[in-house]
Structure 1
Amino acid sequence: MKKQPRFRRWHKLDNTANLFPVVASRRTTNVFRMTAVLRDTVDPGLLQRTLEQTLPYYAAFGVRLRHGLFWSYLEANDSVPVVRLEQDVPCRYMDPLETGRFLFRVLYFENRVHLETFHVLTDGTGAMRFLKAICYRYCQLAYPDGTEQEKRYGLEQAGNVEDCYLKYSRPSKKAGYKEPSAFHIKGTKRLAGDVGVVSLLMPVTDLKRVCKESGVSIGEYLAALVLCSIRQAHMPAGGAKKPINLFVPVNLRRIFGGDTSLNFFSGMTVSQKFGPGPANFDAVLQDVKRQFAEKCTREAFEQKLAYTAQSEKNLFARMTPLLLKNGILRLIYEHSSHGSTTTLSNLGVVDVDEKFQPYFEGFRFLLPASPGEPLKFTACAYGGTLALNVTTLLDRNPLILQIAQHLVQAGVPITLESNGDENETL
């Protein structure tokens, strides 16, 4: 068996991660969930054994958060994390006393394995790698006759904790960027602590056919669909003065290279202003396509990297006490939060090693809804099925029905999967 690597005892937070400890709270958790849907019911004892065997390879996860005088950092955590039965709402606040100071939790329910991660550790790409590595090892132990026992899978980038934000940032004379204030979704809130979850499952082949007919990508189509559905379900008939701003995270590994296990993502805002009358989906779709082409470019993200890396390299900022830095970061976050209506994060196709494909049925991906964004959207695909997932703090969801009806009318069959809330309107 591959010898477990030795990592340094601590590493700095990556450039993006500095924000998350400052703004995290029980209302805005910054905890996201990756789920593997397996073929058979999960054995919790075996899952615990699997986690203990996999974690030592992942330097980004075997840590706890510490705070110094000038910066926060991540220090090796020698405790043993414990897998638990899922009993609470997804993406809830990461209480360090509950998790043994770890910044992630592994949960199970029936045939599902959930990995919930505090965003300070990594992004969706890094978390999915860790989840797959856990599940690969689980399958090796659960089905010894069908898999090799000695070889370890999913560990290729486990030890890479390079800060790619600093590595790929270049000096830029251009000023920072600012998004206009956005339309915000209103509605009757659920009870405190309650979160609704709905997944719309659809065949990838049918969705691709519809997208091809319009000359757009799946990401562009879903973005336009979310924009128009928010307009129909939550905006007054006369429209609104403020635009709907959709934040779309982008995996920067695909643009710059680099393969860190830490955060390495940025994002672009796709904006649409709606006047009186129903939304013209085809017109919105083509405008979304234009915005993707203009904003999802290496040049655009180079400017963002340069802007966000300035504080990391600035001597005055580096010598500013952490308490003061955190106060400034909180003010910046509160100001910027007015520029987003909601988020759509598309993880794309989840690749599973061919040896383990028979043991997986699918994947899900959830972002935490927050008071400022009471609805959030994610998408991922596996085995010919795309899951469009919605987390919501609102009591009723005409928007979800709007999305489902549009897709069915376009020729894409939909299967709805929810967390069983009787108040959900679909």
Structure 2
Amino acid sequence: MKKRTFPLDLSARAYPMMKSRHTQSNFRFSATLIEKVDPTALKQALSDVLAFYPNFRAKIVPSFFWHKFKQNDAPLIVKEDDRPPLLPLRKKDTNGYPFRLAYLENEIILEVFHAITDGDIGALFLSDLLTRYAEIVRDLPAHSFDRGLRLEDAFIKHGRKTSFFKASLGKYNGKSAIALGKRDNYLPTATLLSQEISISDLKAAAKANDATVTEYVAACYIAAVLQGEKLPLKKPLCLFVPVNLRRFFASETLQNFVCFERITLEKGETDVSFAHILSTVRTQFREKITQENMQKRVDDVKLCFTLPIARCLPLFIKKPCFKFVKWILDKVRQTAILSNVGSLSLPPETAEIVKDVKFFLNIGKNTPLNVAVLSYGNVCHVDLTCGLKSSEIPARFFSLLNSQGKK
């Protein structure tokens, strides 16, 4: 029987072309249990849950014009973790699946290639995986994991036809931004750092400053970075923030449906007081992340990847052209990435065996210190993926957050 194939969503088409032996756009979840992981049960849970996530039960292969998904029936691999975090996926660890599932004592580790989905769906997949695992190890009744989600390119569905001359494609390149250190000061592999904060304390601190949790964490991060910068700023500081478009458009897609906004303190800035930083961040979040602007982002993505030149060039020409342009334009355009996937909820019988859950972003040579936020239970985890030898910025950042209360 011929194996099923289906397309990547428009926004994901660049990810396989950006992949190299050294870098890949992955994100990571880790769940700490109250007991050692049962590898057999974890593998069975994975097999059961994959039936509801066809983009996970696939491999990404080249076709004539773009990469595509192809159904993957290879044996599943669940093995003890033996790798540094967030390195490019290896076939011997995955059998071609676009994710890696591993364990280490009482920790379950899931790393996902961004080409198949975004962090919000990744969190749902982890939730279902943990739930099914708990059912198996506790001999609980199984239930369906059908959430009514499906493969659908939400950018095509919700994008409007727009003129090339009305699009804002140029601004996605961004301006040169503050870098967090020279590359000879980078670690050979990433270090994972985490701060646990009471959700009630963090929300209270944010509310006291008329801010959301994401705005407040972003302001703390920017303040921590700017304590080490000379004034006035010689370059803008730019925080790259993924926005879950499901907040603005009704969508049941399993695939990527996010866009990115830049939160910026401009070149020449002299006021780096926390009050001013938070005011700037809050204003930009609320002015930029609106229904109207998100519609424009969706329209631009649809236009960019459906232009005749994008559609008609074969992949063997697209890929070197893409890498050449990326090399030509190689400069720091965002200081860091900050992503908040919100709260991860588990059924009570699953929550009984899961102590905590963390979320980490990959880093790159231009963004060596990225921030991820996830809430579980009564605790908010603020997680850093750090590629810097110096711990000064993480220490300052966590100190600011810690002043609002730590678990």
Which residue of the other structure, out of 357, 364, 373, is the alignment partner of 1:370?
364
Shift of 1:313: 2.8
1:269-418 mapped onto 2 (5 Å cutoff)? 269-273=262-266, 279-331=272-324, 333-334=326-327, 335=329, 338-409=332-403, 412-414=404-406
**CA gap 1:157/1:366 in 2 versus in 1, 3 angstroms:** farther
By how many angstroms is 1:216 displaced? 0.6
1:5-404 matches, cutoff 5 A = 9-144=4-139, 147-149=140-142, 151-152=143-144, 154-157=145-148, 160-173=150-163, 174-177=166-169, 178=171, 179-187=174-182, 189-192=185-188, 194-233=189-228, 235=229, 237-273=230-266, 279-331=272-324, 333-334=326-327, 335=329, 338-404=332-398
Contact kept, 8 Å, 2:217 with 2:401, in 1: the verdict is no
Residues 211-238 of structure 1: per-residue CA shift (max 9 Å, x gap): 11111100000111111111114x2x33
RMSD over aligned Cα, in angstroms?
Answer: 2.2
* 1:168 positional shift: 0.6
Q: Which residue identity is paired with 1:381?
A: S
Q: Secondary structure of the residue that 1:59 maps to in structure 2?
A: coil
1:404 offset after TM fit, Å? 2.2
Runs of 4+ in structure 1 off by over 4 angstroms are 274-278, 331-334
1:355, distance to aligned residue in structure 2 (A) = 4.0
Question: Structure 1 pair 181/283, CA: closer, same or farther in 2 (3 Å)?
Answer: same
Q: Give the letter aligned to residue 383 of structure 2.
A: N
Contact kept, 8 Å, 1:96 with 1:103, in 2: the verdict is: no
The C-alpha deviation readout for 1:47-67, integer Å capped at 9, x for no partner, is 112212222332011111111
Question: In structure 2, how many angstroms separate the alpha carbons of the residues matched to 1:298 and 1:278?
Answer: 31
Taking a change above 3 Å as real, the CA distance of residues 276 and 175 of structure 1, as seen in their structure-2 partners, is: closer
* Pairwise CA distance, 1:326: 2.2
Distance 1:42 1:52 in 2: 16
SS at match of 1:392: strand
Contact 2:187 2:388 in 1 (8 A): no
Q: Which runs of 5+ in 2 are unaligned?
A: none
Instruction: Tell me if structure 2 keeps the 8 A contact 1:157–1:261.
Output: no
- 2:345–2:377 CA contact under 8 A, matched in 1: no
What residue in structure 2 maps to residue 423 of structure 1? none
Aligned residues: 400
Structure 2 distance, partners of 1:295, 1:102, is 36
Q: Distance in 2 between matches of 1:191 and 1:248?
A: 24
Matched AA of 1:171: K
Conserved? CA contact 2:202–2:405, under 8 Å: no
Q: TM-score, length-normalised on structure 1?
A: 0.88
Per the alignment, do residues 96 and 134 of structure 1 end up closer, same or farther by CA in structure 2, a change over 3 Å counting? Answer: same
**Secondary structure of 1:338's match?**
coil
Deviation string 1:102-128 (CA, Å, 9 cap, x unpaired) is: 111101112221111111111101111
Percent identity between matched residues is 27
The one-letter code of the counterpart of 1:40 is E
Which residue of the partner structure matches residue 419 of structure 1? Answer: none
Change (3 A) 1:353 1:254: farther
Q: Note if contact 2:178-2:237 (Cα within 8 Å) is conserved in structure 1.
A: yes
Cα contact 2:215–2:281 (8 A) shared by 1: yes
Provide the rounded CA distance (Å) in 2 between the counterparts of 1:360 and 1:348: 17
Structure 1 pair 374–26 and aligned structure 2 pair: CA distance change class (3 A): farther
Unaligned runs of 5+ in 1: 1-6, 416-426
Q: Equivalents in 1 of 2:16, 2:157: separation in Å?
A: 23
After TM superposition, the score normalised by the length of structure 2 is: 0.92
Does the 8 Å CA contact 1:64/1:101 hold for their aligned counterparts?
yes
Give me the whole-angstrom Cα distance separating, in 2, the residues matched to 1:103 and 1:337. 28
Distance 1:332 1:157, change over 3 A: farther
How many Å separate the matches in 1 of 2:137 and 2:131? 10
